[in-house]
Amino acid sequence: MAEKLDRWTLMTPALLTLLCSMGFLMTPATAIWLTIPNTGTKCVSEEIQSNVVVLADYYVVHDALDVNHDQPHLPTISARVTSPYGNNLHHLENVTQGQFAFTTTESGNYLACFWMDGKSPEASSFSVSLDWRTGIAAKDWESVARKEKIEGVELELRKLEGIVDSIRENLVYLKNREAEMREVSEKTNARVAWFSIMSLGVCIFVSGLQLWHLKRFFRKKKLI
């Protein structure tokens, strides 16, 4: 029994260090702030593989004050989220805040665009805060803990397992993308090589044809 206690005593600092490191990894990233122009569109994109959960919240931040009510006057915006193949995943107009959630079915760049509504007045300071979460960061761990009745260290270890799985999936995705890019590069190099050989053959053929015409020209000149 004493040996077991000594082992747990020795393992506790390492386990706490591991959990603290995982805590830093699990800390949600600071929301992105996008400055929206009076005319035009501001977009943000992220390359995401298929079968990944995406959650996002956005809201308008405006520094101007309403003179009559002494309250922030929030202009309305329109938002659109599209998949790599141009499919609309989210679209709202005339709003000051919103959220979207979906599971990706395509691998590639997912684009979220925001622009000022036509009815909104011009703003001197106008931004949109976007909290974009994907994969393990978008998972509702509170629901998981309630459903599976886990807490404390076991829950933190489950989070760590999710992070490891996410990293492994990303590495596999990057490996596959690298293989695809290498294949495209090899095909391109082969086509360029064949094009170079064909160009060289055409040049040789045209040069021989010119020499043949020159020989005929000089023969005719000698005969005259």
By three-state DSSP, how is residue 118 classified? coil
Per run of 10 residues, the mean pLDDT along the chain (length 224 residues) is 42 44 44 82 88 88 54 78 91 90 89 81 70 77 67 72 78 85 90 91 88 78 65
Domain residue extents for the chain: 33-147, 150-223
How many Cβ atoms are within 10 Å of 24's Cβ, its own excluded?
7
User: How many angstroms separate the CA atoms of 224 and 219, rounded?
Assistant: 9
> What's the pLDDT at 160?
78
Q: What is the pTM of this model?
A: 0.59
> What's the pLDDT at 146?
66
Could you tell me how many helices (H) and strands (E) the chain has, helices first? 3, 8
How many Cβ atoms are within 10 Å of 104's Cβ, its own excluded?
19
Tell me which fold the domain 33-147 belongs to. Jelly Rolls (2.60.120)
- Spatial contact of 66 and 72, defined as CB atoms under 8 Å apart: yes
User: Which residues touch 105 (CB under 8 Å, ≥6 apart)?
Assistant: 50, 51, 83
